[in-house]
């Protein structure tokens, strides 16, 4: 390890990320070890990555969900350092973030991980308000202290240790493959969200958490409340665009909030579709049972009075 390098292992998840992988890896030049876990890319992702970071180690694993992929990397990639930073290929580290991480991991501490908030960009503008920044994800962690599990289209951390928060975040370019790809991706995300929303509706809302100083607890309580909200797409749009001042992000903020509105409409429509299919299946099952019962009655032999031949 070079003395100028941060004693950290960065694990980058990729799938057809040739358009962004170079920028992503270049932004992590100060990180000592880079591991790329690819989900069977069919473009030049791996070739481009090797050109930028020839010392990186590469692994391939079919993608199931984000939680599973991160757990697989922890179990199979054998990171060289105690501290791990998970990065997606459309996330670009800033010098300020790397400085903060270097200080965080080199000081003795009780925390086993830290949350990072990405700055989301659309049409060249940072959407500070219409993406409800900061929206934290646990991405910096001590090896062996954190696991992940699937939740909706994303993942939730599983750990018993205390966690911290980083002030600085990376640049997140979620539209780097074009708006059409974002829409296609969120079509799948809306399907993945169905089970999560049903689960949240069964959980008790802790109203005090809506005002808790911990941002993760506040966001969790807000999700539980939003899952029950009538006219959910309109309620969320008004909350983000008006109450959270999303309109201050200008035209890009308006378009983004409308895209999210459409996403929430899709989720609601898929929830109603699921209810309809369940009712249809139940009606069909009851109808089949009634038909089987009727057929059984018709098959019961009937003894007719015999004719006396004597």
Task: Give the integer Cα–Cα distance in Å for 129 and 33.
Answer: 34
- Mean pLDDT of the residues in the chain: 89
pLDDT at 301: 55
With a CB cutoff of 8 Å and minimum separation 6, the contacts of 191 are: 270
pLDDT in tens, 85-122: 999 999 999 999 999 999 999 998 899 999 999 999 99
* pLDDT single digits (tens) 41-71: 999 999 999 999 999 999 999 999 999 999 9
% of the chain surpassing 70 pLDDT: 92
- pLDDT higher than threshold 80 for residue 310: no
CA 273 vs CA 217, 259, 295: distances in Å: 31, 21, 32
Q: Is the Cβ–Cβ distance between 119 and 171 less than 8 Å? A: yes
Let me know if 59 is exposed, middle or buried by CB neighbors in 10 A (0-12, 13-18, 19+). middle
Asked whether residue 291 carries a pLDDT value surpassing 90, the answer given is: no
Q: Within a 10 A sphere around the Cβ of 158, how many other Cβ atoms?
A: 12
Span 231-241, pLDDT tens digits: 889 999 999 99
**167 has a pLDDT exceeding 60:** yes
Helix ranges restricted to H, the chain: 21-26, 45-52, 66-76, 95-106, 179-201, 215-228, 232-238, 250-298
Tokens of residue 246, six digits: 């999303």
Average pLDDT over residues 115-141: 95
Which pLDDT value is given to residue 92? 98
Q: What is the pTM of this model?
A: 0.82
Which of 107-111, 162-166, 181-185, 246-250 has the least mean pLDDT? 107-111
CA distance 148 to 69: 9
Distance CA 92, CA 81 (A): 21
Question: Cα separation of 66 and 82, whole Å?
Answer: 21
> Is the model more confident about 222 or about 267?
267
Number of Cα atoms under 13 Å in the Cβ half of residue 237: 17
pLDDT at 308 over 60: no
- Contact between 148 and 157 under an 8 Å Cβ cutoff? The reply is yes
Instruction: Specify the range with the lowest mean pLDDT, choosing from 124-138, 245-259, 294-308.
Output: 294-308
Mean pLDDT over residues 213-230, rounded?
77
- What pLDDT is attached to residue 258? 98
- Per DSSP, the three-state class of 136 is strand
Mean pLDDT of 9-36: 98
Residue 151 pairs in a beta bridge with 154
Q: In the prediction, which pLDDT does 178 show?
A: 95
For residue 197, what are the contacts with CB-CB under 8 A and spacing of at least 6?
A: 227, 267, 271
Q: How many CB atoms neighbour CB 275 within 10 A? A: 10
Give the chain's domains with CATH numbers: 6-172 (3.90.550.10), 179-268 (no CATH)
């Amino acid at each position: 390890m070079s003395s100028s390098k941060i004693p950290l292992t960065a694990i980058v998840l990729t799938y057809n990320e040739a358009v962004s992988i170079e920028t992503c890896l270049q932004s992590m030049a100060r990180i000592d070890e880079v591991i790329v876990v690819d989900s069977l890319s069919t473009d030049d992702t791996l070739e481009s990555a090797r050109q930028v970071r020839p010392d990186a180690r590469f692994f391939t694993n079919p993608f199931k969900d984000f939680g599973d992929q991160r757990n697989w990397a922890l179990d199979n990639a054998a990171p060289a350092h105690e501290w791990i930073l998970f990065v997606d290929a459309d996330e670009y580290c800033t010098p300020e973030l790397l400085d903060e991480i270097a200080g965080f991991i080199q000081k003795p501490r009780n925390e086993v991980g830290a949350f990072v908030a990405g700055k989301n960009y659309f049409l060249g503008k940072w959407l500070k308000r219409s993406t409800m920044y900061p929206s934290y994800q646990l991405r910096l962690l001590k090896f062996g202290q954190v696991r992940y599990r699937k939740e909706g289209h994303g993942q939730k951390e599983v750990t018993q240790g205390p966690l911290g928060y980083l002030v600085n975040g990376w640049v997140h370019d979620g539209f780097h493959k074009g708006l059409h790809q974002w829409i296609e991706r969120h079509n799948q995300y809306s399907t993945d969200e169905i089970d999560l929303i049903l689960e949240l509706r069964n959980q008790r809302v802790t109203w005090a958490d809506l005002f808790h100083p911990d941002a993760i607890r506040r966001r969790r309580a807000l999700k539980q409340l939003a899952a029950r909200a009538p006219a959910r797409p309109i309620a969320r749009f008004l909350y983000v665009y008006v109450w959270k001042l999303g309109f201050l992000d200008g035209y890009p903020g308006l378009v983004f909030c409308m895209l999210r509105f459409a996403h929430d409409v899709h989720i609601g429509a898929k929830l109603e579709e699921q209810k309809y299919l369940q009712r249809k299946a139940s009606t069909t099952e009851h109808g089949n049972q009634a038909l089987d019962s009727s057929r059984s009655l018709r098959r019961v032999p009937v003894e007719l009075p015999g004719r006396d031949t004597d």
